[in-house]
Amino acid sequence: MADILDWTNADLNRLDMAAYEARADEMAARLKQETGAGRLPFLTMPYEAELKAQLADLEGFLKGFDHMLLLGIGGSALGARALQKAFHPGQDQPGHTGRSLWIADNVDAYALAAYMEKLPPEKTVVVTVSKSGGTIETVGQYFIVKEWMRGTLGDDWAKHMLLVTDEKQGFLRGEADGFGIRALPVPDNLGGRYSVLSAVGLIPALFLGMDTDALMAGAREVTAALADPGLDGGKLAAQSAFRLAAWGAALMDKGFAEMIFFTYIPLWASFGDWFAQLWAESLGKEGRGSQPVPAVGVTDQHSVNQMFMDGLRNKACLFLTCPNLPAGPKFPSDLPDQFAYVRGKDFGELIQAEGLGTRMALSESGVPLVEIRLGADSPRQAGKLIGLLGAATILTGWLMGINPLDQPAVELGKRLAKARMNADGLEKEKADLNGFLTADRDLREF
């Protein structure tokens, strides 16, 4: 079954998409310029052949471990978790005995202590992911886990470490060179939120036995046309990623300040968190953008869906479905009369019915909605989804006149945190921090 976008309920009659669609020639020219200059490796994937060879070489090494402890945050972790939840669900189920991926993506002393107390070091590989090699939340965990490994494994500690970082510079690159630690590069110009289909996300995927080739091939089905040197406005206008971008930009012009990502593929729920970073960090700038809101069906029909349908009319929705999910067990035939409508039916029919009902209800409540309907819940479709949403986000930013590849506000918070820890320099941040901490506070017990 094909993968399609259903625009029937996108509310196009209320939006001025034509003004953005008319800029297809401009956007095509910009894509050609940026891809030609090597600044959009998310679309061109110039590293693919080398990465496949590196992953093949790594496969034998990874077979020696039962556990992978991934140290990373934001884009260094969200994609890996989405893939884990989608394609390695057994880890969350009773009686799991296979390989396990543990993701340390926060400054959480409880969790870090538990990992070091309970994971067997001799059967654990630690993967540290930081492009810059200076992300303190990640590198800070690396310092502590490194000492744990040294204390338990002695001189063999480095054989249980794997670094994913800049190819030439940064602290972690120095660690790789100094201690002979295996390392794979994060390609230049590949920001964290766009990096899931690089070593960042594919090393954990490989460890868990996923089809990494299918993931990359799926993305290429979407991105190849956008990176084609022969791209022009007419060809770009026919691409779903561009149409989604025009829709997203036009929605914001009409005051739709929230973008719901409603997932009716339960195991794919964590793709909502991945999308939230992608959309928020790329487009939330200069007082503009729309707030991404991850939601999962059927669970959130019984919670936040009340706000979606009957709250402020400022919400649009990307609605992810797959008609070919497992049928599951059948309902018994001897159910009470009040439940007669499900007698003998497959359990899996219920989520399809719930998804249809929610989609219709949202549309009738005035929520512009585009359904992303996947033909299967496979790695290939996951790659296509990643390619589609990443490309649409980049193009939406360009149509808005902002840079979708940086994150200036996030960097300010990082500098202030370093100032609080008394890092060298950062005099302005330290002065601002002192002013904030010494100001009169309105404190009240509760």
Cα separation, 128 vs 141, whole angstroms: 9
Active site residue 160: no
**Token pair of 438, please?**
């010494």
Peptide bond into 298 cis (omega under 30): yes
pLDDT of residue 252: 98
> For 142-168, what is the mean pLDDT?
97
**Token pair of 80, please?**
């890996």
Q: Give the CA count within 13 Å in the CB-facing half-sphere of 97.
A: 1
Active site residue 414: yes
What is 4-36+227-400's CATH number, 3.40.50.300, 3.30.930.10, 3.40.50.10490, 2.120.10.30? 3.40.50.10490
The model's confidence at residue 414, banded by pLDDT at 50, 70 and 90, is: confident
Catalytic site residue from 117, 118, 302, 427: 302
Cα separation, 266 vs 251, whole angstroms: 27
Q: Which helix (H) or strand (E) holds 42?
A: helix 41-44
pLDDT of residue 73: 96
Q: Please report the DSSP string for 132-175 in residue order.
A: SS--HHHHHHHHHHHHHHHHHHGGGGGGGEEEEE-SS-SHHHHH
Query: What confidence tens digit (pLDDT) does each residue in 172-199 have?
Result: 999 999 999 999 999 999 999 999 999 9
Catalytic site residue from 281, 315, 371, 429: 281
**Token pair of 17, please?**
């998409």
Positions of CATH 3.40.50.10490 in the chain:
4-36+227-400, 41-213
Query: What confidence tens digit (pLDDT) does each residue in 234-278 have?
Result: 999 999 999 999 999 999 999 999 999 999 999 999 999 999 999
pLDDT at 83 over 80: yes
- Name the CATH topology of 41-213: Rossmann fold (3.40.50)
Catalytic site residue from 235, 254, 345, 414: 414
The model's confidence at residue 437, banded by pLDDT at 50, 70 and 90, is: confident
Share of the chain above pLDDT 70, in %: 100
